[in-house]
Amino acid sequence: MKNPGRNNNSDSVSEFILLGFPCTWKIQILLFSLFFVIYVLTLIGNLCIICAVRWDHHLHTPMYILLASFSFLEIWYVTSTIPNMLANFLSETNTISFSGCFLQFYFFFSMGCTETFFLSAMAFDRCLAICRPLHYPTVMTVQCCMRIGACCWACGFSYFLLPVYLISQLPFCGPNTIDHFLCDPGPLIKLSCVPDPTIEITCSIFNSVLIFSTLLFITGSYTQVIRAVLRVPSAEGRHKAFSTCGSHLVVLSLFYGSIMVMYVSPTADNPSGIQKIMTLFYSMLTPFFNPLIYSLRNKEMKEALRKLLRIMRFGQRQPLKN
């Protein structure tokens, strides 16, 4: 009997089956509804940030331009995996083609890498603004901000090319069921007919270098910010700065904590249940919380969003003004 996931002309696998969350039909519908609502709210939240920054001229500053770029990235980040996961909840086969699997793998991880670079750029921007306020306008210009954003995208989509290529060259001729809801390196490497520990170690090194280098940079930047804030004579100013930094650090803890559990150690050592839970944290929940954390605690952003809502309510189509 032929395996539907194999090529008729060879023993190589032509498609994979994403196992996802095996459970009863009622639980699957419940999960579908929950994840669909989170996905839609994530899109709406990030789109609102982009529109507010686009239409309010007071937000045409490096900090908010980086924030809008980050929101644009988050939209594509969740879209690279969540729609396919939602479709699989309603599907009986849960199949994905070989090329589709590796395209998802590449785009998801490239945008994840880009996110770490954007978080580093945003931390650098805040550090420069608070610690070097006199130099900030001349150093962090809008043109410089745009170049930093372009560099984040270029580095993010270049960094993981080698690991993706190495894993795609592994022979896949046996079982084609991936015990995950997306194409992740750990389960993919397990399915290879000829396991290659070198590739798994290479992926772990790439992940560790990216995670620890950006995390150390972000930690160093916020350490400088905290030192500068402690020298602020106003108690209200210190409270506001610490509140903002604390919110950012919560997001960073969720994102980096989950990806460190997943990818710093060799991926094969993580049980599939932990892989799925941790992946949900950094692929779905952090993009959902980011608009709330980075924007709704910001007075200028809240005011811009109020203006945007008023314009949408009355059907006006003009730039935001005071």
> 216-266: per-residue pLDDT in tens?
999 999 889 888 888 877 776 666 666 666 667 777 888 888 888 777 755
| 8 Å CB contact between 177 and 16 | yes
Q: How would you classify the pairing of strands 95-97 and 15-18?
A: antiparallel
Where in the chain are the domains? 16-314
65-69, 123-127, 175-179, 274-278: range with lowest mean pLDDT: 274-278
Cα torsion 155, 280, 93, 172: sign: positive
Please compute the mean of the pLDDT values over residues 131-159 and round it to a whole number.
92
Q: ∠ CA(296), CA(301), CA(304), 5° rounding?
A: 125
CA distance 254 to 265: 18
| 8 Å CB contact between 74 and 119 | no
Architecture in CATH for domain 16-314? Up-down Bundle (1.20)
* pLDDT number for residue 9: 39
For residue 20, give the 3-state DSSP assignment: coil
| 8 Å CB contact between 94 and 19 | yes
CA distance 128 to 159: 26
For residue 141, give the 3-state DSSP assignment: coil
Residue 210 tokens read as 């990216």
Winning range, highest mean pLDDT, from 199-213, 231-245, 253-267, 300-314: 199-213
Statement: residue 75 has pLDDT above 90: yes
What count of other Cβ atoms lies within 10 Å of the Cβ of residue 265? 13
At how many degrees (to 10) do helices 272-280 and 235-263 cross?
Answer: 150
Q: In 3D, which of 107, 100, 106 has the Cα closest to residue 16?
A: 100
> 160-173: per-residue pLDDT in tens?
999 999 999 999 88
